[in-house]
A and B are shown apart, each in its own frame.
Chain A
Amino acid sequence: MKAVDNLLGKVRPAFEKGGKLEKYWPMYDALETFAFVPDHTTKTGAHVRDAIDMKRTMFLVILAMVPALLFGVYNLGYQHFAAMGVDATFLEMALFGFGKLIPLIIVSYGVGLGIEFIFCIKKGHAIYEGFLVSGMLIPLIMPVDVPLWMVGVATAFSVIFVKEVFGGTGMNILNVALTARAFIFFAYPTEMSGNKVWISTTGDRTPVDGYTGETLLGQAVEKGAAFTDVTGQAYASAADSFMASFIGLIPGSIGETSALAILIGAAMLIFTGVASWRIILWGILGGAVMGFIFNLIGPAYFPENLYLQVPWWQQLVMGGFLFGVVFMATDPVSAAQTTRGKVIYGFLIGLLGILIRVVNPAYPEGIMMAILFMNVMAPTVDHYVVQGNINKRLKRFKTVKAA
């Protein structure tokens, strides 16, 4: 650490005002504050500052993603070798997974940070770390074999049009990572939906008999709760398929399969106070309520649509529902800001996520649409919460005056 400090101190004059590389000060600043807690002191106004700055916050979010990431890496290998009917050791699976994931991470960070640097140097303001989290989230919500150039295009699109044109970090109107996914979903649908993309089948091995590659979301559209695993074997009981998706040994986007790993992350986020527990809790509740309503009305009114009969507790663990609610919906910038607003926002995300997923089979990953939609609606929710409070106080004021 001392050596890094010395090095940074030595090159500092070149970047300061009047130095040769003055233009690149934001870049230097970003590196310095990344390594060390900044020693700036406040000059005017409030002097009380949080001990934890944005870089440390972002770092906590990344730490919380690590369980999901590591499990995703293992699951990539597991699904691949299971689909091919090959016995493999833990190490082989993990290596296979890393081989698939690391290029995605490099592309997403490379493109995203590159654009961020260019904008910061052009505008001459400090580089913020918002993209550290987005850049890690993007690979985790991609299918395994998505072409790298698509990830690059999607990242560039979402960083520029959702974040930079609105003023950079802290100003994004939507969740950046989710926009990148939605971009690929609409622009290149064959790479982002269907049965072929969720398990890597490239290479010289061929899949076993009965292999379909469908995710549980895909299966539920046709067969309801009668789930099968990768090789086409039916799960013995509903509890079995629940456990499989809770642990996460099912096909899906890279980081979202394991409810367990995501819940560990959620616990870290809630414990450190980085994410709002209200959004997470009410999001899950909203999904459960919608799933429960479907369970109630499904058999009686829509017997031909088996998706409605998927038990509500199973709805919560399959697909990207939990991942979205924990890591995407809680984005502090695009979420609702007021306490009651967060409750409404979270609840509606869960509700709409399950609603879209079940009612419209063309959008199997309803939670993506639900979060983006509620991102757009969040300011409206806040507006009405604030107005409601103002009206309540006005009324109280009037009654006091009258009495």
Chain B
Amino acid sequence: MSTETLEKEAVQDVAVPKEPLFSAKNKRLLTDPLDDDNPITVQVLGICSALAITVQVQQAVVMSLSVVFVMLFGNMIISVFRNVIPSRIRIIVQLVVVAALVILVNEILKAFLPDISERLSVFVGLIITNCIIMGRFEAFAMGNKVFPSALDGIGNAMGYAWILVAVAVAREVFGSGAISFPGVGQIKFVPEGFFEFGYMNNNLMILPPMALIVVGIIIWVQRARNRKLIEEN
């Protein structure tokens, strides 16, 4: 899906030199990755972090923001330099860009949100290897102008973010009976009476396998709504 848009874009760039800032096509760059072309549920990329850091909402939110930042600026930088990057070493250049941005994010988190940074541990660093980011650099930023690349970056990062937060909400609500926000901390909202009545937090929700199943449920709902996404065989 993604590579197709790339080729069409290149052709149309020549034919239509000027187009409105938020043309229908540009808007689709933003909205497609949210649903029909979602990086996690449709392209099945970046699954690892969706399993690892969705135990609490606050971590998921911080992680998502970090990815939005890296994705947006990474896509823009690559797009700016797309014509001067020698294609033989482009992967290394992309890695340098994403690594620089991730280090920046990591240092900021360590300085301002030390406890969340601690809990995210290596996963911020692992944004470098997040397949979504390298995938967008290769498939989009290397062949498109800066503004569409920025939109594409935000779109894909938001597509990643909402899945992450949705999974985290499900896991934290059922697993810990609480919900947390960055800077606020965890708020337990399940009333004591529930527990006296026999309710218990679901421990399995805290374990990684359940994240996979929650992502599976989202994929299920998505494909039930949009039958185009179902593979033939």
**Real binding pair:** yes
A90 within 8 A of partner (CB)? no
Q: Which residues of B contact A149 (CB under 8 A)?
A: 198
Q: Which residues in chain A, 154-192, are within 8 Å of chain B measured between CB atoms?
A: 161, 165, 183, 186-191
Q: Please tell me if B113 contacts chain A, counting CB pairs below 8 Å.
A: no
Chain B 190-233, CB-CB to A under 8 Å as 1, else 0, gives 00000000101011110100000100100010000000000000
State the interface size on chain A (CB cutoff 8 A). Answer: 12
A147 at the interface (CB under 8 A from B): yes
Chain A neighbourhood of B204, CB < 8 A: 183, 186-187
B205: chain A residues within 8 A (beta carbon): 187
The reply to whether B198 and A189 contact each other, CB–CB distance below 8 Å, is: no
Residues of A within 8 A of B200 (CB): 150, 188, 190-191
A189 touches B203 (CB 8 A): yes
- From A147, A165, A183, A187, give the contact of B198 (CB < 8 A): A147
With a cutoff of 8 Å between Cβ atoms, the chain B residues found around residue A183 in the complex are 204
Chain A residues whose C-beta falls within 8 Å of the C-beta of B207 in the assembled complex: 186
Contacts of A190 in B (CB 8 A): 200
**Total inter-chain residue pairs, C-beta < 8 Å:** 21
CA distance A149 to B203 in the complex (A): 15
Chain B residues in 8 Å Cβ range of A187: 202-205
Q: Is the CB of B220 within 8 A of A165?
A: yes
**Shortest beta-carbon distance from B28 to chain A in Å:** 31
How far, in Å, is A192 (CB) from chain B's closest CB? 10
On chain A, the residues within 8 Å of B203 by CB distance are 186-189
Chain B residues with CB under 8 A of A147: 198
- Chain A residues near B198 (CB-CB < 8 A): 147, 149
List the B residue with the shortest CB-CB distance to A147.
B198
> How far is B204's CA from A258's CA once the two chains are assembled, in angstroms?
30
Q: Classify chain B: how many residues form its interface, as a range.
A: 10 to 19
Q: How long is the Cα–Cα vector from A35 to B205 in the complex, in angstroms?
A: 42
Residue numbers in B under 8 Å from A191 (CB-CB): 200
Complex: how many Å from CA A190 to CA B220? Answer: 32
Chain B minimum-CB-distance residue to A189: B203
A134-162 vs B, Cβ < 8 Å mask (1 yes, 0 no): 00000000000001011000000000010
Residues of B with C-beta under 8 A to A188: 200, 202-203
Closest residue of chain A to B198, judged by CB? Answer: A147
Residues of B within 8 A of A161 (CB): 213, 216
> Which residues from A are CB-within-8-Å of B220?
165
Measured in the bound complex, the distance between the Cα atoms of B203 and A269 in whole Å is 37
Give the contacts of B146-184 with A (CB-CB under 8 A).
none
- Once the chains are docked, how many angstroms separate the CA of A167 from the CA of B198? 34
Smallest Cβ distance from A198 to chain B, in angstroms?
A: 18
Residue of B whose beta carbon sits closest to that of A182: B204
In the assembly, what is the distance between CA of A190 and CA of B199, in Å?
A: 12
Complex CA–CA separation, A161 to B210 (angstroms): 11
Output the least CB separation between A363 and chain B (Å): 14
Compute how far the CA of A190 lies from the CA of B201 in the bound complex, rounded to whole angstroms.
11
Chain B residues closer than 8 Å to A186, beta-carbon distance: 203-204, 207
Alpha-carbon distance between A73 and B205 when the two chains are bound, in angstroms: 33
Minimum C-beta distance from A104 to chain B (A): 15
A153 closest partner in B (C-beta): B202
| Complex interface: chain A residues within 8 A of B216 (CB) | 161, 165
B contact residues around A150 at 8 Å (CB): 200
* Least distance between B76 CB and chain A CB atoms (Å): 41
Nearest-CB residue, chain A, relative to B220:
A165
Nearest CB of A to B64, in Å: 26
CA distance in complex: A190, B200 (Å) = 10
What is the CA–CA distance of A165 and B224 in the complex, to the nearest angstrom? 12
A399 to B147, CA, bound (A): 68
Q: How far is the CA of A187 from the CA of B213 in the complex (A)?
A: 14
* Chain B minimum-CB-distance residue to A186: B204
Q: How far is the CB of A168 from chain B (nearest CB, A)?
A: 15
How far is it, in angstroms, between the C-alpha of A150 and the C-alpha of B198 when the chains are bound?
10
Complex: how many Å from CA A183 to CA B213? 13
In the complex, what distance in Å separates the CA atom of A186 from the CA atom of B216? Answer: 19
State in angstroms the CA–CA spacing of A190 and B124 once bound together. Answer: 34
Nearest-Cβ distance from residue B88 to partner chain A, whole angstroms: 41
Complex Cα distance A191/B199, Å? 12
A239 to B159, CA, bound (A): 64
Q: Bound state CA distance, A183 and B204, in angstroms?
A: 7
Interface centre among B198, B200, B213 (most CB of A within 10 A): B200
User: Cα distance A188–B198 when bound, in Å?
Assistant: 11
Which residue of the partner chain B has the closest CB to A191?
B200
CA of A188 to CA of B202, assembled, Å: 6
- Cα A367 to Cα B217 in complex, Å, equals 29
Give the contacts of B91-119 with A (CB-CB under 8 A): none
B13-48 interface with A by 8 A CB criterion: none
Tell me the bound Cα distance from A147 to B202 in angstroms: 14
Residues of A within 8 A of B213 (CB): 161
> What residue of chain A has the Cβ atom nearest to residue B200's Cβ?
A188
* Interchain nearest-CB distance for A196 vs B (Å): 15
Most B C-beta atoms less than 10 A away, residue of A165, A186, A191: A186
15 A-B residue pairs with Cβ-Cβ distance under 8 Å, sorted by A, are A147-B198, A149-B198, A150-B200, A161-B213, A161-B216, A165-B216, A165-B220, A186-B203, A186-B204, A186-B207, A187-B202, A187-B203, A188-B202, A188-B203, A189-B203
Identify the 7 closest CB pairs spanning chains A and B, nearest first.
A187-B204, A186-B204, A187-B202, A187-B203, A188-B200, A147-B198, A189-B203
Q: Which residues of B contact A (CB under 8 A)?
A: 198, 200, 202-205, 207, 213, 216, 220
Q: List 8 other contacts, CB 8 Å, given A165-B220, A183-B204, A191-B200.
A: A147-B198, A149-B198, A161-B213, A165-B216, A187-B202, A187-B205, A188-B202, A189-B203
**Chain A residues packing against B (C-beta within 8 Å):** 147, 149-150, 161, 165, 183, 186-191
